[in-house]
Structure 1
Amino acid sequence: MIIEDFMPKVGESSIREEMINCLRGNPKTLPSVFFYDHKGSELFETITNLEEYYPPKIEIPLLRSTAQKLKQELKDCDLVELGSGDCSKISVFLDEIPEEIRQTIVYYPVDVCKQAIEKSACNLQDRYPEMNIHGITADFLGHIEKIPAKRRRFFCFFGSTIGNLTEVQAMQFMTDLGNVMNKNDRLLLGVDMVKDIDIIEKAYNDGQGVTAEFNKNILEVVNDHIKTDFYPEEFVHVAFFNKKYSRIEMHLKAKKDLEITSPLLKERIVFRKGETIHTENSHKYTVDGINKMADAAGLSVENIFNDDKKWFSLAEMVKQ
C-alpha cells in the first residue's frame, strides 16, 4: 500500500482570508468544503440515512448492478476513484467484482483529506488483500495530472459530486480530465437526474431538520476560524430548486438585521433582514446534460445505467 501526498499546505491564515472574502462578497457565500468539520461530517452521515434523501438509496443498488455488467472492463486496469471519501461506494462496487479480476487491479483513491485516504486504504486492504492500493492525496480539480498513467485507467466519480460544481467548473473539470485520459480509458460518472421538483426539494428539507442543522453548522465552523459571533439560530435554512440553473441551492437567511463582529476584523459584517449566505449547489442533469459533459471531455457515452425511475444515472464514457 502506497500513499502519495500532492496537497499544498494550506495555513490557517489562508482559510481565514477565504472565509472573510466570501462573507464580504455580494452576494455573501461560503464554500461547501467548510461544512465538513467533525460535527458536520456526522450530520451528513445522518442525512444519507434519512427517508427523504433518496440518492444513496438509489445509487448503491445501481452500483451493484452496474459493476456486474462492467466487471470485464476492470481486468488489468488502474481503478481511479475521484473524491473517494470513506470508500463506502467503491466497496459496494468491488464486492461485485470476482477476486480473480480484483487481483489484476491497482486501486487509486484520490481525495483532499489525507486522513480519509489512510483510513479507507487500510480498510480496503483488509477487505481485499489481493488488490494493490495506491492512495493519492490531491485536489482532483487542480492535480488531475498527478494520477499515474502506466496502464489503462477506469475513472470513477460517484455520488453526483460533480453536481456540487458550477457549470463552468464542471465543464473545465471534464475538459481537464479528458485531456489526461488515454485511448480506451473509461469514466463512470454518477449524476442525479432532473425529476419532480417536490421530491428534490424534500431531500434537502427533511422533516427532522437534520439538513437545516447541517447547513447552520457551517456558521460554527466560521466562528472557530475567524472568532466571529454568529448565532445559527438567527438564520433560517433555505433550500429550493432553481429551474434556470437546474440545481438545488442551499442558503442561510438572516431572520433580522445583524452585525457580526470579530477581533480579527476592523469592520463588522452587516446583514439585512432576509439577506442570505449561499452555501451549496447541487445540480441535477438530463441526458442532454450528460452528453454535453462528455463532449467537453472529448469522450463518447457508451452506456447510461439507470434505476427503474431514472432518478439517478451512472454514465459510462470512453476515450476513443
Structure 2
Amino acid sequence: MTDVDLDNHRAHADVTDELVDDVRSGLTAERKWLPPKWFYDAEGSALFERITALPEYYPTRSEREVLAARAADVARITGAHTLVELGSGSSEKTRLLLDALTGHGTLEEFVPLDVSESALAEATAAISADYPKLEVRGVVGDFTQHLDRLPGGQPRVVAFLGGTIGNFLPAERAAFLRSVREVLEEGEWLLLGTDLVKDVGMLERAYDDSAGVTAAFNRNVLRVINTRLGADFDPDAFEHVAHWDAANEWVEMRLRARLRQTVEIPGAGLTVEFAEGEHIRTEVSAKFRPGGVEAELGAAGFGLERWWTDSQQRFGVSLARSVRG
C-alpha cells in the first residue's frame, strides 16, 4: 500500500485526558454512561467492520444500495472538488462516491477524518493506491472538535454516513450540525445518512446479533479503559443489552453488571462500585423520520435538496446545501 501522511490532532496525552474526563463524568453519574467514541481502538474498529457484514445489521447494506444508485446524482448536483468524510472507518462505501466524483471530472481531493489512527492509516493508504490522481489527506481527529482543521478546495461535500448522527443526543446533534454548517461556505454540501424508524424487532436484532459480535464490540469500551487507564474491569462480568426506547425513538446499548463488583481505575483516580444488574449506557442510536431530518437540517442552516431511501425504506440519505445564515 502507498504511504500517506496523516494530520494528527489527537496526541496520546490529549486522548488520555479526554478519556479520564469522560470516565470520571460518566462512571460517577447516578445513571452511569460512557461515550461511544471509546469503542474505537484498533480492535473496536475491526469488530465494527465485522458488524457491518452481519445478516442482522441492515444499515450498511441499505445505505450502500442508496449510494450505488445515487452517487452519480451527488456528483452531478454538487460538482465537488473535495470530498470530506467524517468518521470514515474503512471508507468502503465512500468508494462509490469517489468513483462517481472522479468520473464526473471534478474531484481533486479526498479528506477522511477518523478518531482511529490505525483504521484511518489503512484506509487512506488503500484509497491513495487505488486513486493515484487524487490527493488524499487523512485527518486523525474528533469530528466534534476538529472540523475547523479540515483542508480542501471548494466546493466541498461533507459526507457523514452510516447513521452515526444518531449517536448524538438531540441537543448534541443540533450543535454538531450547526458546527458543520459553520465550517462550510454558503452553497457547499452535506451528505447525511440516517437510519429510519421501523419494526422494533428488526432494530433490536441489528444491535444484538446472534453471533455475539456486537456484544464484543460493546464490551470493548471496558478493554480500552483497562489498557489506557490501568483499570481492572472484567468485561465478561458485564452483559450486553440492546433496548428500543419508544419515547425517544432510539436503540440504547448498555452493559449490565452480572454481579456486584468493585472496579479500580488508577489512571482516573477512581474506585467504582457496581450493584448487580446496574447498567452503563454506552450508546444511543437514534432513528429518524423524513420530516424530522429536514427540520433538523433547516434549523442548522441547511436546505434539503434531495432525499433518497433504499428499496425497503429502511435508511435515508439526504443531500443538503448550506444556505445564507
TM over 0.5: yes
Partner SS state of residue 14, structure 2: coil
Look up the match of 2:253. 250
Say yes or no: does 1:101 pair with 2:105.
Answer: yes
The CA distance in 2 between the partners of 1:88 and 1:152, in whole Å, is 23
Look up the match of 1:155. 158
The CA distance in 1 between the partners of 2:228 and 2:51, in whole Å, is 25
Distance 1:67 1:273, change over 3 A: same
For residues 63-118 of structure 1, the C-alpha deviation after alignment (integer angstroms, 9 at most, x for no partner) is: 1111022222353522211222222121132234453515x432222223344443
Whether the aligned pair in 2 keeps the contact of 1:82 and 1:157 (CA below 8 Å) is yes
Say yes or no: does 1:64 pair with 2:57.
Answer: no
Partner SS state of residue 261, structure 1: strand
The CA distance in 1 between the partners of 2:224 and 2:80, in whole Å, is 44
Distance 1:231 1:294, change over 3 A: same
Whether the aligned pair in 2 keeps the contact of 1:191 and 1:314 (CA below 8 Å) is yes
Superposition CA RMSD, Å:
2.3
Whether the aligned pair in 1 keeps the contact of 2:188 and 2:322 (CA below 8 Å) is yes
Look up the match of 1:127. 130
Whether the aligned pair in 2 keeps the contact of 1:16 and 1:225 (CA below 8 Å) is no
The CA distance in 2 between the partners of 1:108 and 1:42, in whole Å, is 21
Look up the match of 1:26. 30
Give the aligned residue type for 1:238: V
Could you tell me which of 40, 43, 46 is aligned with 2:44? 40
Deviates more, 1:288-297 or 1:259-268: 259-268
1:263 deviates by: 5.2
Distance 1:5 1:220, change over 3 A: closer
Whether the aligned pair in 2 keeps the contact of 1:107 and 1:134 (CA below 8 Å) is yes
Give the aligned residue type for 1:296: A
Look up the match of 1:84. 88
Could you tell me which of 289, 292, 312 is aligned with 1:289? 292
Could you tell me which of 185, 188, 191 is aligned with 1:185? 188
Distance 1:51 1:144, change over 3 A: same
For residues 248-288 of structure 1, the C-alpha deviation after alignment (integer angstroms, 9 at most, x for no partner) is: 10111122222223556776311122210111111110012
Distance 1:153 1:41, change over 3 A: closer
The CA distance in 2 between the partners of 1:5 and 1:263, in whole Å, is 27
Give the aligned residue type for 1:132: E
Whether the aligned pair in 2 keeps the contact of 1:299 and 1:319 (CA below 8 Å) is yes
The CA distance in 1 between the partners of 2:18 and 2:39, in whole Å, is 17
Say yes or no: does 1:279 pair with 2:287.
Answer: no
Deviates more, 1:34-43 or 1:62-71: 34-43
Look up the match of 2:233. 230
The CA distance in 1 between the partners of 2:266 and 2:124, in whole Å, is 41
Look up the match of 1:111. 114
Distance 1:85 1:308, change over 3 A: same
Structure 1 unaligned residues grouped into runs of 5+: none
TM-score by length of 2: 0.89
TM-score by length of 1: 0.90
1:318 deviates by: 0.9
Look up the match of 2:173. 170
Whether the aligned pair in 2 keeps the contact of 1:64 and 1:96 (CA below 8 Å) is no
Give the aligned residue type for 1:163: G
Whether the aligned pair in 1 keeps the contact of 2:27 and 2:272 (CA below 8 Å) is yes
Distance 1:173 1:266, change over 3 A: closer
Structure 2 unaligned residues grouped into runs of 5+: none
Distance 1:16 1:105, change over 3 A: same
Give the aligned residue type for 2:38: F
Give the aligned residue type for 2:264: T
The CA distance in 2 between the partners of 1:145 and 1:266, in whole Å, is 33
The CA distance in 2 between the partners of 1:17 and 1:183, in whole Å, is 36
Deviates more, 1:146-155 or 1:52-61: 146-155
1:315 deviates by: 0.3
1:312 deviates by: 0.4
For residues 35-73 of structure 1, the C-alpha deviation after alignment (integer angstroms, 9 at most, x for no partner) is: 123332222222111111111111112111110222223
Whether the aligned pair in 2 keeps the contact of 1:76 and 1:101 (CA below 8 Å) is no
Distance 1:264 1:162, change over 3 A: closer
